[in-house]
Structure 1
Amino acid sequence: MRTKQDLIQICQRIQGRGYPAYKDCRGEYTCPSYILSIDHVQGDPFAAPSDVSIRVPNTFPKKFHDTKYRRVSLEDRLLRFFVKQLKDDPFRGKGSGKSGVISISKPKQEVLERSAIRVEEETITLRFHVGFPANGRKVLSLELLRILFDYLPSKIESALLYEKLSETDREALMIAHSLADDQHALREAIKEKGLVAFVANGSILPRKSGVSQKPMEEAVPFL
């Protein structure tokens, strides 16, 4: 497997070339705290951004992922951590088209299994999109290095490594973990009692509109 230094050398070599030169970057690279994989390179700076994935060691205590429902809860929470990192400190790059755009599936209210993140026994894989920078259709690969090695590493570590989580995020993780256990217990109880649903007292079921997940204003709480 190639290293971070190999990718740096490739980017230095292709700087200023035509956009297809980015194809040389495809592959996996070992970095200090994760493995970077450039899975698909966009055809030009105006096309859909390139597919990138990150694989880090799973350093989370087993209790957070020892069952499927706990694993899905952990995946959901880590994805939210990463999205928040991007939102709080967006990358400010330069270039044509989608240059410098960093995007990922953004979870809403539902806690679901998503292809953007996968927690396994030994590793955690995060998949997202990066617009590879260009000036017109000329490669700005040194700008790509700035994204991959100056901007993203701290975001990845702060969202995906247990020992790097902030105190606030650890508290949020514990709340999500407890909530997942409560939901699982309720679902099992519903099956045992032959019921079809559970709605907590005080729940507001109507939404603001058909395209909004916000509660309807002045709605009557469920009692």
Structure 2
Amino acid sequence: GLSGGDRQRVALGRAIVRRPKAFFMDEPLGALDAEFREHMAEELRALHDRMGATTVYVTHDQLEAMQMGDKIVVMNHGVVEQFGRPQEIYDWPATKFVAKFIGSPAMNFLEFDGMIGNGADSIDLSGQTVQVPVTRQGAKGRLTLGVRPEHIHFSDASKFRGRVIATEYLGTTQIVTMSTANGVLKARISSHKVVNPGDLIGLEFDARTLTI
């Protein structure tokens, strides 16, 4: 019999010969192994570019959605959480659900009490001043600071510190899990930097990459 990949090709071929104005694909790569998924994804992108037909592509794989889509609709139990370009959704998630769903590891969340406003453009994290995005100045109450793992930088000068719990080697990068006074977070850093469990490390964030 035909392999899963061959069956996918046959189904696509039958759809293409009709020259449709739009395609609707429901997890077309879901049943394929990792190597063939990558190959089929390339074929689907080439097909879209060649035919120019609108394609609605359904997937539960957030990485696949980022790779395949010009625009993405993130849904949660049938409710639209956000619609936009992949980079827009990754950099500026509209809700906490989107921030947690898009990205691996997911966005870190640090809880703190405070008010941003009356001319203030920063918050205090364990004695370390952190600049906040202009769009969130004026927020108050129990606030959540969101920061991507790759936007956390190590700094001996910072008063906001994290104690290393674990490290995960990923080739060119490593994921460092740390406990802080405001919660546990993960940082993605170069694998060439030596980090060991128990180390106490100063942490800095770039205000341009933060969400609140």
> Is the structural similarity TM-score above 0.5?
no
Please report the TM-score for the alignment, with normalisation by the length of structure 2.
0.28
When you count strand as a share of all residues, which structure comes out higher? 2
Please report the TM-score for the alignment, with normalisation by the length of structure 1.
0.27
